[in-house]
Chains A and B, each alone.
Chain A
Amino acid sequence: MFEVRDISFAYDKDKVLNGVNFSVAPSSPVAIVGANGAGKTTLLKILAGLACPLAGSAFLDNRNVSINTIRYRKQLGYMPEKIALSDDMKVREYLIYRAVIKGEVPRRATRRVDEVLKLCSLSDFSRKYAGDLSAGLKKMISLADAILLKPRILLIDDPYSGLDVASRNLATDILSTYAQNSSVIVTGHEIEELSKWVDSFLVLEKGAISKAVSAGEDRSALGLMVRKVLEGGE
């Protein structure tokens, strides 16, 4: 179980996050939605260890992740909103590099990278330079990087932006597959796509979780419910 307890954050005097609380169980992916500037990306950066909260912390299996950060990072997969690849490297080469950096043995890293490339339909581009690819393909490479070592916690920031329909479906398939064994936290504005595989939506408003919408037995209505909530209805 991955828990976020009372996290607050400020860049200056004004707080961006003010006591955010929620928990994510494996196989119960959570989507954080909200208006632009609500603090979704900041929250994910804090959970990824790229920003320091003013108060509160995240807990993995009831252990404060800020105490043993190395152990925590080993179990973390993170896909940022802004894609940052090494443009001078070929796709396969880049992913092997990332796997080794994350602590995988080179031989196993190669095998795993080939699997992920196939999974993300990137095999055809594996020998191309990352810098020569489209923004959508770069997004898929970034997703492949996040799921590379089958992390326990997957933090995905805005996965659908810039993807065409086929890629969106593919990303949904991949994320829903990984969500079965990992604690996934995803942010984004694409409610329809997210509602296909996410179990609950948390609405981030004025720095706090204002509302939570969970999928009941009827998943098809989830998207509609979230949209209503976001538009101000009940």
Chain B
Amino acid sequence: MSVSSVVRSRATRFLRRRKSTAFIMSFFWAVAGVIFTMSLREAAGYALSLPVLWCSGVAKILPFVAAFIGMDLISSERSSGRMDMFLVTQASLKEFVFGRFTALLFLLLQWVLVLLVAEVSLLGILLPEAFAQVRLVSFMPSFAILAIQGALWSAIVIAAGAFTHHAALSCLTAVTLASLLPRALWVAISSFFPKFSCFKSEMIFDVHVADFASGLVSLPAVIGYLILSAYALYVATTRLEMLRFEGVGGRRCRVGATSVLIASSIFIASLVSLSPRFELSLDIPVQSSALQFSSRTINLISETRGNVSAVCFMSRKDPLFRQTSSILRSLASRSRNLGAAKFDISYIDINRDTTMARLYSRNGVVPPAVVFESGNRRSVLQIDGPIDDHQVSSALRDLTLPFARRKVCWLTGHSELSFSDYGPNGMSDIARELVRAGYENVSINLADMLSVLPSEVAFVIVPNAKNDFSRTECSKIDSYLSDGGRLLVLMSDASSGGVCSLLPKWGIRPLKAATTYSRTFTGEDAIVSEFEAHQISSPLLGAQVVFDAPVAFEPSSAAAISQSEASSSNTVVKADNISFTALAKADGNILSAISERGSAVGSDLSLRPTRIVVVGDGSFAVNSQLKFRANANRDFFMNIASYLSGVDSFYDAPENACGLLPTLDVLRVSRFMIGSALGFPLISLIVMLLFISWRKHR
């Protein structure tokens, strides 16, 4: 039996037999329960996975748990004189420190494991709708990152204990080193150097937690944590060794040991800061993984052949470097698995590879960007924010499709939303997506006497017009539609004069009645996950699209309806050959619909059918909606764009788009909070105290 295992079992028993350990564990279980419940409430409507939510909350309090449980693990040994009794034996201090460290780490992991099992069980019982799409195995990466971070926090607690006699001081030091100081530094750095505040100002520890919990495992991060943990244990061992050098005679030894500690800390800091440069990531396929690609992207990848060169042209210090590198590597890995093109990823750092950087700059590539090259074709993906697979697939598509840029006309002059507005209520995000898909965004004001809707535009968008259209404007739109025009209307008010007056003529009537819906996040919105069979909505089967304060539609009664397809009640064909198709329905209300004229003519005739798509939510695709909520909204919009412009390549939502967390009933959430923050910790405390008492009197 090695000394470290004896020390570990001794320390484990010491911790388990203490009543304070039971109180500390129960208290932090309660805190974790409160944090998780609040996160569940706040995350309603967002495409966040439960493991990420759970793990993020637990990770924040883990340093505190470690510090409070292990505060007297070393300091009490020093203050009581037991440390001296150990120092006079031939046993190694390394084994002593390692034994204590493993005892604390194992207890910490038990705390995490019990919490995980308890909260997942309570979730399954009390909030089954939140737990429906989650498997227990999805939490494994979360547990892994908590174990890795727990090792670092435990090592820091041990090191802090080696420097002080007092448990409270040891606890304070550990909490400061593990949580308070890094977070304060991060805030300070983010404030003074905004370029460092990468990943939405999240701290690096939090980024690791979110990445790991979603299945993106960065090996350099793991190595970094292990190096730091080992270093903290080394510091603890050296500090305890210095206890043997009491007195003036040992001053030289103490100074020497301190110098070694300072030098090694510089070395370790350099080593850890270098580690992210050797980016090696594993993609563990857990639910809501950050690197899950949509079927469209997978289809595109599978259709690519030969060699594709992907050049990441950016500084490695760029906050987005890691994320970009990860997505490219995942792309290459997925392509390899599909037996498609061979992706050759290379990196050109603008600061280091100056020759290559100059070459690319001379060719008009502005960093940061990803340059895809295949044969003589080149597609440049400009990076102005975290990239996703849609952008990558659009860039790949540009490599294969001939260059053709079609125009999308955005109507203005009636307080419409603007595609050049980058604010939360602007539509810059979806406009950029259209550009990536090969469209050109142009605005047009029909009030201008000379302006006419050109027939060659792909389609016209009326983005939430609030003011009335003049008769002339209506006439211009009507004329455009009569010539086989394509129109997308986003509307949030059925009573406005906008194009409402025009729509009934084309088979669609907006309804004024506001309705509350059974599936909702905020009470005013409607969640739609069941779509009618249509080429726009079919690829989104199972995904969730959110309509905020929606307007409903019905087939226009002005035109005579011939119920030729009465059996399929969704499609009503009208007398003048206008068909009405419901796209999305909620509680029987049609929230998005299509009107098409001329689709029934023979395919041998070169006639362009008129197509109108209405979406009963003016803010359906505004920036704030697309940023966090509902990836499916973006896909729904892009599918409409493809349908209106006659392109058959459609977007479908990635799997994690289905993972929007539902709004939870307050009463049931309260029950969950009582269970996880009160019931479970209290029962655990009683069980632990009974066990301690039983062990004591056995």
Which chain A residues have a beta carbon within 8 Å of chain B's beta carbons? 8-12, 45, 48-55, 70-71, 73-74, 76, 78, 80, 82-86, 88-89, 97-98, 100-103, 106, 129, 145
For the complex with contacts A49-B244, A50-B246, A86-B10, 7 further pairs of A-B residues with Cβ separation under 8 Å are: A45-B246, A48-B88, A73-B90, A74-B90, A84-B82, A101-B91, A106-B1
- Chain B contacts of A53 at CB under 8 A? 247, 249
- Considering only CB atoms, which chain A residue lies closest to B254 in the complex? A52
Residues of chain B from 668 to 685 with CB closer than 8 A to chain A in the complex = none
Among B1, B91, B253, the residue within 8 A (CB) of A102 is: B91
Is A51 within 8 A of B246, CB to CB?
yes
Query: Contact flags (1/0) for B76-89 with A, using CB distance below 8 Å?
Result: 00001110111111
Is A54 within 8 A of B81, CB to CB?
no
Q: How far is the CB of B70 from chain A (nearest CB, A)?
A: 15
- Chain A contacts of B87 at CB under 8 A? 49-50
Q: How far is the CB of B415 from chain A (nearest CB, A)?
A: 74
Q: Contacts A88-B17, A100-B6 given: A9-B88 contact, CB under 8 Å?
A: no
- Chain B contacts of A102 at CB under 8 A? 89-91
Q: Classify the secondary structure of B's interface with A.
A: helix
- Considering only CB atoms, which chain B residue lies closest to A7 in the complex? B249
Q: Which 5 A-B pairs have the closest CB atoms?
A: A52-B250, A84-B81, A54-B249, A51-B246, A73-B90
Is A97 within 8 A of B6, CB to CB?
yes
Q: Contacts A50-B87, A88-B14 given: A101-B247 contact, CB under 8 Å?
A: no
- Considering only CB atoms, which chain A residue lies closest to B15 in the complex? A88
Residues of chain B from 1 to 50 with CB closer than 8 A to chain A in the complex = 1, 3, 6-7, 10, 13-14, 17-18
Complex Cα gap A226–B13 (Å): 48
Among A51, A71, A84, A98, the residue within 8 A (CB) of B250 is: A51
Q: Contacts A84-B80, A88-B17, A97-B6 given: A50-B244 contact, CB under 8 Å?
A: yes
Is A10 within 8 A of B248, CB to CB?
yes
Q: How far is the CB of A186 from chain B (nearest CB, A)?
A: 16
Q: Contacts A50-B87, A74-B90, A103-B91 given: A97-B247 contact, CB under 8 Å?
A: no
Q: How far is the CB of B692 from chain A (nearest CB, A)?
A: 10
Among B3, B89, B249, the residue within 8 A (CB) of A9 is: B249
Most chain B C-beta atoms within 10 Å of own C-beta, residue among A45, A71, A100, A103: A100
Q: How far is the CB of A143 from chain B (nearest CB, A)?
A: 13
Q: Contacts A86-B14, A97-B6 given: A80-B85 contact, CB under 8 Å?
A: yes
Is B81 within 8 A of A82, CB to CB?
yes
Q: How far is the CB of A39 from chain B (nearest CB, A)?
A: 11
Residues of chain B from 396 to 455 with CB closer than 8 A to chain A in the complex = none
Which chain B residues have a beta carbon within 8 Å of chain A's beta carbons? 1, 3, 6-7, 10, 13-14, 17-18, 80-82, 84-91, 243-250, 253, 696
Complex Cα gap A45–B81 (Å): 12
Is B84 within 8 A of A84, CB to CB?
yes
- Chain B contacts of A12 at CB under 8 A? 248
- Considering only CB atoms, which chain A residue lies closest to B3 in the complex? A101
Q: Contacts A51-B247, A52-B253 given: A97-B90 contact, CB under 8 Å?
A: no
Q: How far is the CB of A131 from chain B (nearest CB, A)?
A: 11
Is A52 within 8 A of B18, CB to CB?
no
Q: How far is the CB of A44 from chain B (nearest CB, A)?
A: 10
Is B84 within 8 A of A50, CB to CB?
yes
- Chain B contacts of A78 at CB under 8 A? 85, 88
Is A100 within 8 A of B1, CB to CB?
yes
- Chain B contacts of A82 at CB under 8 A? 81
- Chain A contacts of B246 at CB under 8 A? 11, 45, 50-52
- Chain A contacts of B82 at CB under 8 A? 84-86
- Chain B contacts of A83 at CB under 8 A? 81
Is A52 within 8 A of B249, CB to CB?
yes
Is B247 within 8 A of A10, CB to CB?
yes
Complex Cα gap A54–B696 (Å): 47
Q: How far is the CB of B31 from chain A (nearest CB, A)?
A: 27
- Considering only CB atoms, which chain B residue lies closest to A8 in the complex? B249
- Considering only CB atoms, which chain B residue lies closest to A13 in the complex? B248
- Chain B contacts of A98 at CB under 8 A? 85, 89
Q: Contacts A88-B14, A100-B6 given: A10-B88 contact, CB under 8 Å?
A: no
Among B3, B84, B245, B250, the residue within 8 A (CB) of A80 is: B84
Complex Cα gap A84–B88 (Å): 13
Most chain B C-beta atoms within 10 Å of own C-beta, residue among A49, A55, A71, A106: A49
- Chain A contacts of B17 at CB under 8 A? 88
Is B243 within 8 A of A50, CB to CB?
yes
Q: How far is the CB of A146 from chain B (nearest CB, A)?
A: 10
Complex Cα gap A103–B250 (Å): 27
Is B10 within 8 A of A80, CB to CB?
no
- Considering only CB atoms, which chain B residue lies closest to A145 in the complex? B85
Complex Cα gap A54–B245 (Å): 10
Among B1, B80, B89, the residue within 8 A (CB) of A73 is: B89
- Chain B contacts of A76 at CB under 8 A? 88
- Chain A contacts of B86 at CB under 8 A? 101
- Chain A contacts of B14 at CB under 8 A? 86, 88
Q: How far is the CB of B648 from chain A (nearest CB, A)?
A: 74
- Chain A contacts of B250 at CB under 8 A? 51-52
- Considering only CB atoms, which chain A residue lies closest to B17 in the complex? A88
- Considering only CB atoms, which chain B residue lies closest to A74 in the complex? B90
Q: How far is the CB of A17 from chain B (nearest CB, A)?
A: 10
- Considering only CB atoms, which chain B residue lies closest to A53 in the complex? B249
- Chain B contacts of A49 at CB under 8 A? 87-88, 244
Q: How far is the CB of B18 from chain A (nearest CB, A)?
A: 7
Q: How far is the CB of B693 from chain A (nearest CB, A)?
A: 13
Is B90 within 8 A of A11, CB to CB?
no
